[in-house]
Every structure is written in structure tokens, then in C-alpha cells.
Amino acid sequence: MSAPDTVSVGAQGTDAPLLEVRNLVVRYGRNGPAAVDDVSFAIARGETLGLVGESGSGKTTIGRAILGLQPVSDGQILFEGREITRASVAERRALQGDLRAVFQDPFSSLNPRRVIGDALTEPLRVAGVAREERERRANEVLASVGLPAGSYDRYPRQFSGGQRQRIAIARALVTDPRLVVCDEAVSALDLSTQAQVLNLLAELRAGADLGYLFIAHDMAVVEFLAQRVVVLHRGKVMEQGATVDVIRSPQSEYTRVLMAASPVPDPDEQARRREVWQRLRAQAKAAAG
């Protein structure tokens, strides 16, 4: 199935995209198969784009390529109109305030021997921000994500999983970024905490000209947060478009499989979805020979 044409600008503006990915190809090994194969999409300022697919679909590889953590085999990545596909270490350092990330497991990225304030102020220290201003900004952003006063001087082990994810979000926001890459940022959380974090992300986006690349495997999560969605399968784009359109009228059989696999609280509806998912998977395997 062929992917649709690239959306050159996002749904919320007519100016140049905040981020544009053009015909991206990523291979592991010089002659290995493409983990990401000719993927194109764009994100407008203030927009959330959902990048959704099963494990192994290439979505995390795309996020890592955008962040400069994975070499690109072919194609282009542009940030605010400037190509960053193969940016140098110095160029990436200059970008670190504008392009941030929130990963799935915040605990592993926090030094257990250092207080939370140290983790938040480190990028500001590297940027040359004065100490008093670093502390002020860190406490301000901790409050903005709903953490209690005094969090600055506490250690990671003193917080719950949901609170640590809020800390990860605060760390991403402390530099006042333009784009945040959220890689399975809520998948490890229980449903109530997941809902709180999703609401927080939506509120923070509404209060700033902030864009998200929201990487997930759950269509229901993407439906809540993203204005547009790109569906990936085995490194290729199956379809992309406004989230409401893709959800209501999916053009790809693979998108239907993902939607059928999304959990819902109603047990009867969940059972129906499971039956649909099993039937679609069986049809897909039969078609593949």
C-alpha cells in the first residue's frame, strides 16, 4: 500500500513547519534492511503529531534520528527550516534548548544520587544561565507540572512513577523548547496516572507555542492528544492525516488492526474489539501468504 503525499505544513498554520521529515531512511548496518523506509511528515508550531505503530514499526528510530541519537542513511530532517540531518555536536548543543525529549522510563534517566533540581538545572547551566535564575526557572516549571513545593531538593526515589514522569516533562520544558519528542511517555503508567499526564501535556501545549511529536502504540492515547497522526508499519507510512479522519475512516487495514487492539474500559466492547483484531490479523497473515 502506498503512503499518502507529505503534508508540507501543519493543520494549524500556513508558515513553514516547525519540523519537517523528508523521505527519511534509516538502516542498521551499511547494507541492512531499512528500519525506516522513505518516511515523510511535518509538524506545525503548536501542533501535536501522533506517530503510532506496533513495536518494531520504526517509530522510536524516527524519534532518535530527529534527536540526533541515530544516524540517518538518507533523506532530510529540517527544524524551523534549517537542516539538522547530520548536525555536528556543536550544532546539536545549540539546539538542545529548542528540541527536547521525554522518554518512557524517567527513573533510568535520573541520577539517584542527585536531587531533582540538579537534573532540571543542568541544561540551563550548560547554556550559561546564572545560578539564581536556574533555580527560579526550575521551581517555576516544577510547579507548572503540578509537583509540590520542595520537590527541587528531593531525590528521584521519593517520587511515584507518575510524579517522576512529571519531572521528566518539567526537565524537557525548563529550557522553553519549541518541540518535545515524547517517546511512549505514558505507556508505563497506570490508566489514572496516564490520563493525568495526558491532560497535563495538553494544558502545557495550550499555554505555549509548543509542538509535540507523540510516539505511541495505542491509537486511543494518540486520539486524545494529537491533531494529526502518522501510522507506521515495518518502517513505512501506511497512512497519515487529521486524527479524527483516520479514526473515523481508516484507509489502511493495518490502521484498523491497531484500532481494534486499543483497550477500552467496557468489557463487552473489549471482547468485540479482540474478535475484530484476531480476524484482521488472520486476514493479514493469509494475504501475506
pLDDT digits (tens, 9 = 90+) for 138-189: 999 999 888 888 999 999 999 988 888 889 889 988 988 999 999 988 776 7
Give me the chain's average pLDDT, please.
83
What is the DSSP secondary-structure string of 45-70? TT-EEEEE--TTSSHHHHHHHHTTSS
Beta strands in the chain, from DSSP E residues, in sequence order: 19-27, 34-43, 48-52, 74-79, 82-83, 99-102, 179-183, 211-216, 228-233, 236-242
Full strand arrangement of the beta sheet holding 211-216: 99-102, 179-183, 211-216, 48-52, 228-233, 236-242
Query: Are the beta carbons of 82 and 60 closer than 8 angstroms?
Result: no
Per-residue model confidence (pLDDT) at position 194: 77
Query: Are the beta carbons of 171 and 161 closer than 8 angstroms?
Result: no
Per-residue model confidence (pLDDT) at position 285: 57
pLDDT confidence of 73, banded at 50, 70, 90? Answer: very high
With 90 as the cut, is the pLDDT of residue 193 above it? no
Q: Which residue has the higher pLDDT, 206 or 70?
A: 70
Spans of all domains in the chain: 19-249, 250-288
Q: How many Å apart are CA 158 and CA 148, to the nearest integer?
A: 12
Query: What are the CA-CA distances from residue 16 to residues 37, 42, 49, 147, 181 (Å)?
Result: 24, 9, 16, 35, 19
Match 529540517 to its residue by C-alpha cell. Answer: 78
Query: Are the beta carbons of 99 and 177 closer than 8 angstroms?
Result: yes
Q: Which residue has the higher pLDDT, 23 or 250?
A: 23
Instruction: Look at 68-77, 140-149, 234-243, 258-267 and tell me which has the smallest mean pLDDT.
Output: 258-267
Q: How many Å apart are CA 42 and CA 77, to the nearest integer?
A: 10
Per-residue model confidence (pLDDT) at position 2: 36
Checking DSSP bridges between strand 82-83 and strand 228-233, what pairing results, if any?
unpaired
With 60 as the cut, is the pLDDT of residue 113 above it? yes
157: left (phi over 0), alpha (psi -120 to 50) or beta: alpha
Query: Are the beta carbons of 87 and 126 closer than 8 angstroms?
Result: no
Over its C-alpha atoms, the chain yields an Rg (Å, rounded) of 19
Topology of domain 19-249 in CATH is Rossmann fold (3.40.50)
Instruction: Look at 9-13, 111-115, 131-135, 214-218 and tell me which has the smallest mean pLDDT.
Output: 9-13
